[in-house]
Amino acid sequence: MPRKTKLIVTLGPATESAEMIGKLIDGGVNVFRLNMSHAKHEWAAEMTKIVRRESEKRDKHIAVLFDLTGPSIRTGDLKEAYELKEGDRVEFRRDDVKPSIPLSTTVNYPGLMGDVTAGNTLVVDNGVLLMRIERVDDDRIICEVRTPGKMGSRRHINLPGVRLNLPALTDKDRIDLALAVECGADYIAGSFVRDAAHVRELREAMEALEGDAQIIAKIEDQEAIRNIDAIIKISDVIMVARGDLGIEVDFEDLPILQRRIVKRCHELGTRVIVATQLLESMITNPTPTRAEVTDVMNAAYEEADALMLSGETSVGRYPERCVDAIIRIASRIEPSGGHGFGQSVILRDERQKTARAAITLADSLADARLIVLTRRGVLANHVALMRPKTAAFYAFTPKESVCRQLSLTRGIRAFKLSFSSNIEETIQRATEQLRKADLVRPGTPIVILSDILSDHFAANSILLHHA
């Protein structure tokens, strides 16, 4: 059976060559992520061109995702990293004031002092260092180190449970967003999204630049969890970004939140990605840990649309082995079923109800194929979110960009096909494409779902056809 769970990998020094990108496409990658926290513009533009070129060589629809940095709080530059001991005092100050103690660094968010209070926990470098805020002044805070460790330059700061008055988009984000639009990005991810207004601001900024990418909202803190329904409803895709989220919440709550978000995305009709540390040990090791195998299996069993690799493929030693491992795990667990969250989709309109009926018909016919004819991909996504049991689920669309945007959607294989005004001709051409790809045989039942208008075919219609 073909794999249903899609795979996103992050490009970086380990995977930036055209040869390696081609190998990863051949290995089963569906989407390439460019992390704008680290990427230079020239590099990102070149990577986009290489992905497009290598995809075209293979006649595959591979998407490019620009992941914006977002309003993250970071420490300043240090001449040498600080070796911190438990009980040490560390100062975080505005960049326009001088240090008051030896262990001092700046922060890139001058409003920090107004958002925190004494007693708050401050986490540095994704949990490497834990500190307690002892004193808050107008221009600096003093923290006591609770866990020893090394603090280098430009380290990320988290403040679990603290509401930060950060903007939705920084100046850097807006510059990177313009590049993403210029490069024809298929997806743009907003980092540290905290409410629906942040997603709306990102979408409006993109549309003002005449971009048509789909928006991914990364869920990374407690405020986003509190506003999760509103964020899901306004986003094209949700990413459960477990790195920062795992710092912002108690670690024992993280698996529960992951499952809750995935289930709610199913119910509300929005695609979902599970990301971060899926195969973290494979950055340096050639095989995953048993815990990582189980983690990937759980995400695939929850029927997330896509899984994402970060450092494993951007800087890791074994990017190809990582891709092979995650595909093997997902492919092994998928035939055993899933949690069935797709059965709880809230059907809000006739289009979704028609999609449910088509799935019921296709699932009831032996060896049936399910085809969706769609111009924008919306109907295909509705169908996919209900998780049809048939492994043979195809979308036909006249637009290459829609084919690429469907590359993140679970279970779909997209084909580019120009639509005729005569629906019978369109169906015949679609069937012929499937025959050439050896995906149907003469007599194979095909359930066709369409939301396009033609001379003889109404919108939101179902047709049973035989190859």
Residue-wise over 197-221: b if at least 16 C-beta within 10 A, else e? ebbeebbebbeeeebebbbbbbbbb
| Mean pLDDT on 272-290 | 98
The residue out of 109, 139, 158 marking a domain boundary is 158
- Domain identity same for 173 and 145: no
- Domain identity same for 43 and 176: yes
The residue out of 158, 186, 212 marking a domain boundary is 158
Q: Is the pLDDT of residue 105 over 80?
A: yes
- Domain identity same for 293 and 381: no
Instruction: Supply the CATH number for residue 372's domain.
Output: 3.40.1380.20
- Domain identity same for 30 and 101: no
The residue out of 158, 184, 209 marking a domain boundary is 158
- Give all strands of the β-sheet with 413-416 in edge-to-edge order: 413-416, 393-397, 369-373, 445-450, 461-466
| Mean pLDDT on 263-272 | 96
- Does 225 map to a domain? yes
Q: Which residue in 3, 4, 74, 404 is the catalytic one?
A: 74
pLDDT at 351: 85
Contact 365, 388 (CB under 8 A): no
Q: Which residue in 4, 33, 155, 242 is the catalytic one?
A: 33
Instruction: Supply the CATH number for residue 205's domain.
Output: 3.20.20.60
33 is catalytic: yes
Q: Which residue in 5, 10, 276, 431 is the catalytic one?
A: 276
- Domain identity same for 317 and 187: yes
- Does 306 map to a domain? yes
- Does 188 map to a domain? yes
* Domain assignment of residue 150, given as a range: 73-158
Q: Write the pLDDT tens digit of every residue in 311-353.
A: 999 999 999 999 999 999 999 999 998 999 988 899 988 888 9
- Total domain count for the chain? 3
Q: Is the pLDDT of residue 270 over 80?
A: yes
- Domain identity same for 200 and 113: no
* DSSP state letter for 142: E
pLDDT at 421: 81
Instruction: Supply the CATH number for residue 109's domain.
Output: 2.40.33.10
- Domain identity same for 197 and 273: yes
Q: Which residue in 4, 140, 155, 218 is the catalytic one?
A: 218
- Does 102 map to a domain? yes
276 is catalytic: yes
Q: Write the pLDDT tens digit of every residue in 43-79.
A: 999 999 999 999 999 999 999 999 999 998 999 999 9
Name the nearest CA neighbour of 174 among 151, 206, 149: 206
Q: Is the pLDDT of residue 460 over 80?
A: no
